[in-house]
Every structure is written in C-alpha cells, then in structure tokens.
Structure 1
Amino acid sequence: MTADRGVAASWAIGMGLLLGAVAGTVVSTRTPGEEVRRVAGFALLFVPALYAMIVSRWDHWHQKNPYVRFAVLFLGGFAAIGLVTAPVVLLFGGTGLVATVAEFLAALGGFGVAAWIAFYGGDERIWAVVVDRLDIEW
C-alpha cells in the first residue's frame, strides 16, 4: 500500500508540534522567549523526522489505528524525553552551555526512544516483556 502523503503530513505536524512542546519545555531556559525558540526548534526537527518515519513505515503505521500509534508515540515520548533529560539536568544543572547542549542531546535521545517504540517494533517488544514478567495469558 502506498503512503498517503497528506495524511502523513498532517499526523507528522500534529505529533511533531506536541513532542516539540514537550521537549522544548523540559530543556531549561532563562527567558520565555528562549523557551518559545526551543519549542519551535524541536518542532522543526521532529516534524520532518516523523513525516519520514510515517512514510517509510506506512504499512507498519496502518497495521494499527493511527490514534493508537499517536498514543504510543506521545506516551513514549513524554516518558522518554522526561526520563532521559531529568538525570542530565541533575548532573549538569540548568544553566550554562554544557548543560544546554547536554539537555538538548538528551531530549533528542528521548525522541529517538519514542520513535523506536512507535515505529520500529519497540512497543511489541515492551509488551512481550510485560506479558512475560507478569505472567499474563494474552
């Protein structure tokens, strides 16, 4: 099945803006204007990346309802960005060039984890581990 580029673009824009807002607000800033620039910068990085992932993994994307993929990406992104960035903030503090670069890279790493979970089979692997550990018959 070929990718519907309009649908892919609309999903990528929505999810990229949402995850860009999460990442932009997690990374420490000194002024509200700086926070807006961070949110916009992350969104400008995430939207094209998500579009490319949706189009390249179109069959995987449509295997389940796109709203499920959205929920998996957002919940994975929210958790991963927060969990990866928080130790960096504690380690480097919230100010300075090194801290800013480290937080930025940590937020990108969190986005990478969320992309793996949503698009590259991470959700199925995590689900299999949870079912196995909790001894659930599914």
Structure 2
Amino acid sequence: MTFSLNDYLAELAPLINLDCGSLHKPGIAQVAELMAAKYQAMGGWHIKQVDCGVAGPGLEIRNQPDAAHIDVMLIGHMDTVFPVGTAAARPMTTDGERAYGPGVSDMKSGLLNIVYALRTLPPAVRDRLSLCVCMNPDEEIG
C-alpha cells in the first residue's frame, strides 16, 4: 500500500470538520460512526459500541473478540476541548506543511494513524496477535 498524503488529508477532514467537544454526544457519536466504518471496510474486525453514559459512545474494536488476553491495545479519544461552532468557524485547512483545525493532532490524526497502521499490518501478524483498539468519548474531562 502506497501512502498518499492527499488521500490521508481527505480522510482526516471529516473527523476535524465536526463538533465533538466533551459531552457533545451527537458529535462524538458521529466520530464513532466514522471510525467504525473504517474498521468495517477493512474486514476482520469486531466492532462493539460501548455506552459511556453522559459522555457518549465508546468503541472497542478487536480482531479476536473471544481471546482471553490482549497482546496489543491501542487507545485514543474521540472528544476535543472545543465548543460547538468551532468546526464551522475553523474547518480543517492546510498550508503545504501543516494541517490546522480542532483536534487535528490530538486526537483525530492519532485515531486515523491507528487505522493506517492496521491497514498495512500483514495478515499473518494480525492473525497471530490479539489486537484491541479502544476509543473513549471523554478523555479531555475524564
């Protein structure tokens, strides 16, 4: 798989251009839907949405959901510190060297980087290891 920065940025933009501040359940639910769709498209991943109460949904994504242990756990959060309206006021932009927007580096690109890493993981390695990706909705406050 060849990396394309343009493709990466196009995939990142929808995550940046939505409001998902802590406790903004509709936005966090949208992030969860976008992320779940990426794993579903890859195939071989079991996606479990976890009700985290007032914070919104969390995601537990595993390749071996019945495994007694987890070999590798990757963790990220779906919320930002930005209030509703920030995404419209400051949508994702780039200047040729950097990308800007609410949550662009913490944590939206981190969530997408996990996807990119797992997309390129050789199937033999993925099948040998019990992998879990956890995405929580309230890291910024919880």
Q: Which has the larger radius of gyration?
A: 1
Structure with the bigger percentage of helix: 1
Shorter chain as normaliser: what TM range?
0.3 to 0.5
Normalising by the residue count of structure 2, what TM-score does the alignment of the two structures yield?
0.38
Q: Which has the higher contact order (CA 8 A, sep 6+)?
A: 2
Normalising by the residue count of structure 1, what TM-score does the alignment of the two structures yield?
0.39
Structure with the bigger percentage of strand: 2
